[in-house]
Structure 1
Amino acid sequence: MTTSSMLKPTDRSKVKRRPQKGHYDRELIHQILDEALVIHVGFIANNQPFVIPMGYGRDGDCLYIHGTSASRMLKSLEQGIDVCVTATLLDGLVIARSLFHYSMNYRSVVLFGRATLLEDEAEKTQALKVLSEHMVPGSWEQARRPTAQEVKATKVLVFPIEEGSAKVSTGDPKDDASDYELPIWAGQIPLKITPGVPIPDSKLADGIAIPENLLKYHRGG
């Protein structure tokens, strides 16, 4: 069965504020998720709302999240409760002539659904590879891989990319017509993640070179 290139908007996923900035294209949603490093997972447990930042990885239309088997969040999610997952890339600050019109340029994703616990050891190991490669491409071949005991001690959940939307804001400030004559600078301050030079572990043995994938590390986009 061929997966649709678009997510179908629902009452809770349809962008209502500035709908012209809303997008439902899977490719765009995947691009944003692939470039971001952190998602925020929103859920309710014991009548208390929580929003937890998490690392993750994407494989097709699935997101993988993981943590210790004792994690309260993962214990809650594996019960099949409703979850909201968000990711945001901040691309710049928008400086207007009026403080009222200061804003930001960004790309974001909001997803809704329910997570499922992975119990098969082979599936968990593959998910851990996806998670590792999302953070640092090439790490699966570079570092020691998880042992069977480590895989067993790790809880992995899969979250479907089936309901949600992206929202993208770009361009110049939108000032009031009367403010364009003011002698005030306006424009954009671009922002991006810029990796620094890798810093060796204080206990690193002599003679170990920095791997090429770390020297050339970058986020796509």
Structure 2
Amino acid sequence: MPHSPAPSPRTRVRRMPERAHYEADTVAAIVDAAMICTVAFQVDGIVHAIPTIHWREGEHLYIHGAKASRMLKALTAGEACVTIALADGLVLARSAMHHSMNYRSVVIYGRFEAVTDPAYKLASLRTFIDGLYPGRWDSLRPITDKELNATTLLRIPLGEVSAKVRDWGVKDDEEDLDWPVWAGVIPLRTVQGEPLTDADSVLAEAPPSRFDPAWQ
């Protein structure tokens, strides 16, 4: 059973409700663990679903993009649905029917609002960059007023939201337990590869990213 009630009828998990979570801490952890969300919205009666990078500050999810972006313009004019999904493991059962996947997912409903205060925008973009590469913002060429003005920053509250999680092993039928096939969980994770230094890079050593084991 969920630890708290769904914040609205459309966020209530109906399929496998035992996997539902509505606590703010659970939602925030999943939002923070993911880099990309999918934003669904409608323009002229046509539904679009666009993947985009995101970050979280407090009780809001943030996205950004070019001022001319049709998606960003549409998001402040109507309702949106944001989804996030992380695959954590392949669950191999003794029958095809009971194969599954361990995962964490979030669904957010609401409307985006524009962040227009220049100081707030600058601070939020710094949070975004440093969240991917800790401490990198201070080493970068400072952002110009023109660049800041050309960037749209939107946020949506993490209020009307639900999470769904599966994080356990195989659930086979008892009569299948002796079937001679491997059963268990194969964990999945994102790992950092070998950095590829740009030919014109002044420095040869890459900075740590959020996937660097030393940072984690």
**Structure-2-length-normalised TM-score:** 0.91
Greater CA deviation, 185-194 or 211-220? 211-220
Q: Distance in 2 between matches of 1:9 and 1:160?
A: 12
CA positional deviation for 1:127: 2.0
Correspondent of 1:185 among 178, 182, 185: 182
Correspondent of 1:134 among 122, 131, 143: 131
Q: Distance in 2 between matches of 1:85 and 1:35?
A: 15
Contact 1:57–1:132 (8 Å) recurs in 2: no
| Change beyond 3 A, Cα 1:73–1:24 | same
CA positional deviation for 1:144: 2.1
Q: How many residues align?
A: 214
The aligned counterpart of 2:62 is 64
Contact 1:193–1:219 (8 Å) recurs in 2: no
After TM superposition, list the pairs within 5 Å mapping 1:10-25 onto structure 2: 10-25=8-23
**Structure 1 unaligned spans of 5+:** none
SS at match of 2:177: helix
| Change beyond 3 A, Cα 1:137–1:31 | same
Q: Distance in 1 between matches of 2:155 and 2:210?
A: 31
- Which whole-Å deviations, capped at 9, do the CAs of 1:142-201 have from their partners, x for residues lacking one? 322321100000111111111111111011121222211211111111000010122101
Q: Distance in 1 between matches of 2:215 and 2:101?
A: 20
SS at match of 1:104: strand
- Which whole-Å deviations, capped at 9, do the CAs of 1:32-83 have from their partners, x for residues lacking one? 111111111111111111111111111100111110111111010121x111
Q: Distance in 2 between matches of 1:220 and 1:203?
A: 26
* One-letter amino acid of the structure 2 residue matched with residue 104 of structure 1: M
Alignment of 1:213 with 2:208, yes or no, is yes
Contact 1:197–1:215 (8 Å) recurs in 2: no
CA positional deviation for 1:94: 0.6
The aligned counterpart of 1:95 is 92
Contact 2:32–2:56 (8 Å) recurs in 1: yes
Q: Percent of counterpart pairs with the same letter?
A: 39
Q: Distance in 2 between matches of 1:59 and 1:179?
A: 47
* One-letter amino acid of the structure 1 residue matched with residue 194 of structure 2: V
Q: Distance in 1 between matches of 2:4 and 2:131?
A: 23
Q: Distance in 2 between matches of 1:219 and 1:112?
A: 36
Contact 2:37–2:53 (8 Å) recurs in 1: yes
CA positional deviation for 1:214: 4.1
* One-letter amino acid of the structure 1 residue matched with residue 13 of structure 2: V
| Change beyond 3 A, Cα 1:112–1:127 | same
Alignment of 1:53 with 2:48, yes or no, is no
RMSD (CA atoms): 2.2
The aligned counterpart of 2:150 is 153
CA positional deviation for 1:124: 1.5
**Structure 2 unaligned spans of 5+:** none
Q: Distance in 2 between matches of 1:99 and 1:93?
A: 13
The aligned counterpart of 2:170 is 173
The aligned counterpart of 1:73 is 71
- Which whole-Å deviations, capped at 9, do the CAs of 1:107-161 have from their partners, x for residues lacking one? 1111111000112211211221122223322221232232110000011111111
* One-letter amino acid of the structure 1 residue matched with residue 41 of structure 2: F
